[in-house]
Chain A
Amino acid sequence: MQWFDLKSDRGGTIFLGLLTLVTLVVIVANQLIPAGSSLHLSTFTVTLLGKYLCYALLAIALDLVWGYCGILSLGHGAFFALGGYGMGMYLMRQIGDRGVYGNPLLPDFMVFLNWDKLPWFWHGFDHFWFAMLMVMLVPGGLAFTFGWLAFRSRVTGVYLSIMTQALTYALMLAFFRNEMGFGGNNGLTDFKDILGFSLQADSTRVVIFLASALALAGGYLLSRWVVRSKAGRVVVAVRDAEDRARFVGYKVESFKLAIFVLSAVLAGIAGALYVPQVGIINPGEFSPLNSIELAIWVALGGRGYLYGAVMGAVLVNYAKTYLTGAMPDAWLFALGGLFVVATLFLPKGVVGWFEGLSTRRKTEEVARG
């Protein structure tokens, strides 16, 4: 049926295919090809690619709320960071008595602060399953509370964006404080192992990379299923004509809340996978700038296209890695430039521009008969 044809996801299929290919190549090139060979992929590169995958999942999360529901969250970095802290807390507790102070229960920074017992909210994080649950529940719960208050009072547009910025900024300030119990300024670091496997081992790194790839593919498929469901069409309807959706009988607030919470959970998972690869989580991850940068990835890739968000995240971060190496001072200017280019010339991002081209070609073919 034609209606289903319109819904076919060529871009998404290409993306999933590429992701599978890259994942396989990375595993083979790192694990099976000996280090001396020119085809060998260093673990450093594997980890770098793994970071990109986490960013891509984060971009999908933002695209769900911004591209599909029209809610420009400029605080999504907060959910990412909270997920990261959840994982960080687990990794800290894994250190056990191997810390500088050798305290079997307390992480080093707590010993340093002369604390004599573990704060209540650190309990349970020695269990992997518990930490992973929190990685989803904490960002999800925060998104639920924030969204419930904001959407119910019908805060929209710029005001909502500013509130989300304020949210992540407030969290950053809070996490900077030593008394909060999250390591303050320095954050959580010096991780040793995960589930008993050394984080320094190449094989562990590759497995985390693989987990990131699976999370990205899973997040993509779940998001695609959601946006293609009737609920997804309602979400887009809310974006385009909120009042109409309301007067047609949808409780708009509930749909916004649902997509916002799902998005926060995905961001949290991305953050949790990010932390063992970079080896540190600190309050800087809550920086409002991070969230703005994230919005630029999505804008540039093409919001409203899930694989567009992925593409934006990978392209911009590749450029960032390259530029911060080649010309460290140029990066912020480049980012600003990209933003201007995206707003002025590519309102629908790179993917939207391509899709526009192919639609035009099809229309012309139809016209020619």
Chain B
Amino acid sequence: MAKGSAGTFEGSAHVAPPGEIDTRHGVILYMENVTVSFDGFKALNDLSLYIDDGELRCIIGPNGAGKTTMMDVITGKTRPDTGSVFLGQGTDLTTMSEYQIANAGVGRKFQKPTIFPTHTVFENLELAMQSDKRVWPSLFARLTGEQRDKIAQVMATIGLTEVCYSPAGLLSHGQKQWLEIGMLLMQEPRVLLVDEPVAGMTHQEMDRTAALLTGLAGEHSVVVVEHDMAFVRSIARKVTVLHQGSVLAEGDMDTVQNDPRVVEVYLGA
């Protein structure tokens, strides 16, 4: 891997045109031999994972397997003790801070829905929108008609047009989940990391979320962490099972579910 070109995005990496990510090898996200320990406990243990450009990947695994920690490492929240994390071939994510990684094209939905509660739905989407996010330009920023259309379009996609001007803090749990996904869409990321998107959703909401996420794959690469097996089955093409901080099994849903090691981990031996 071309380590020499690491740091291309440092400093002035505010609006990185997604085109700059080098995916000539078909892989958009590389995690290699990543280890993270908290006071000696290894939350990630020599984890290697590759996400293809445009794929939809599900990550499953018991509680404490390290799924959220993995997302923390990719998005710059947690620095790995060892190992490398690259976006495309040229962008070393371990040297970048959270906002730089976000602007380089990695969007993230948290496990607990996190939105800006006192801002309206409209403003939440506006703030997330891909734009020059430095202080001075933000001070003078004005919405163009095109940008308003874009917000309206995403608002329709996530079904929140009716509550456009409500403070986001008043939304239901499921609506907040969607709003957060909508904010991801506004960022126009190349990679979406989605942590437990259907927690607290009704079946109907789940189906809509499934349709939304599968629709996004192709143009974006989507990594979904989820517990709900029925949901995973409904969207998954390729599934990775994490266990004790490393990959236990990988493949399509049927292969994985019949893997004796996976059965052992999930059902207990």
Contacts and interface: CB of A to CB of B under 8 A. Distances in A.
Contacts of B77: 243
Interface in B12-29: 14
Contacts of A234: 127, 133, 138
B82 interface: no
A258 interface: yes
Interface residues of A, number: 26
Contacts of B103: 249
Interface string B43-80: 00000000000000000000000000000000101000
Contact of A230 (B118, B120, B141): B141
Contacts of B97: 251
Given A246-B102, A247-B75, A248-B102, A229 B118 contact: no
Interface residues of B, number: 33
Interface string B85-126: 000000000000111001100011010001111111011001
A236 B183 CA distance: 17
Contact of A244 (B115, B120, B123, B165): B115
Nearest to A244: B114
B116 A241 contact: yes
Interface in A89-115: none
A245 B114 CA distance: 10
B163 to A, nearest CB: 12
Given A3-B165, A6-B165, A250 B119 contact: no
B139 A230 contact: yes
Contact of A229 (B108, B116, B133, B139): B139
A233 B138 CA distance: 9
A254 interface: yes
Given A3-B165, A240-B117, A241-B116, A250 B139 contact: no
B140 interface: yes
B183 A248 contact: yes
A255 B138 CA distance: 10
B134 interface: yes
B135 A231 contact: yes
A243, A246, A255: residue with the most chain B Cβ atoms closer than 10 Å: A246
Interface string A204-244: 00000000000000000000001001110110110011011
Nearest to A5: B165
Given A226-B139, A248-B128, A243 B183 contact: no
Contacts of A240: 116-119
Nearest to B105: A249
A2 interface: yes
A340 to B, nearest CB: 26
A326 to B, nearest CB: 40
Nearest to A259: B135
Contacts of B123: 233
A247 B98 contact: yes
B99 A243 contact: no
Contacts of A252: 99
A249 B107 CA distance: 9
B68 to A, nearest CB: 13
Contact of A231 (B99, B128, B139): B139
B187 interface: yes
A226 B134 CA distance: 14
B116 A236 contact: yes
Contacts of B141: 229-231
A248 B127 contact: yes
B213 to A, nearest CB: 18
20 contacts: A2-B165, A6-B120, A226-B139, A230-B139, A234-B127, A234-B133, A236-B119, A240-B118, A240-B119, A241-B114, A241-B115, A243-B77, A244-B183, A246-B99, A248-B127, A248-B133, A249-B103, A249-B133, A250-B133, A252-B99
Interface of A: 2-3, 6, 226, 229-231, 233-234, 236-237, 240-241, 243-252, 254-255, 258
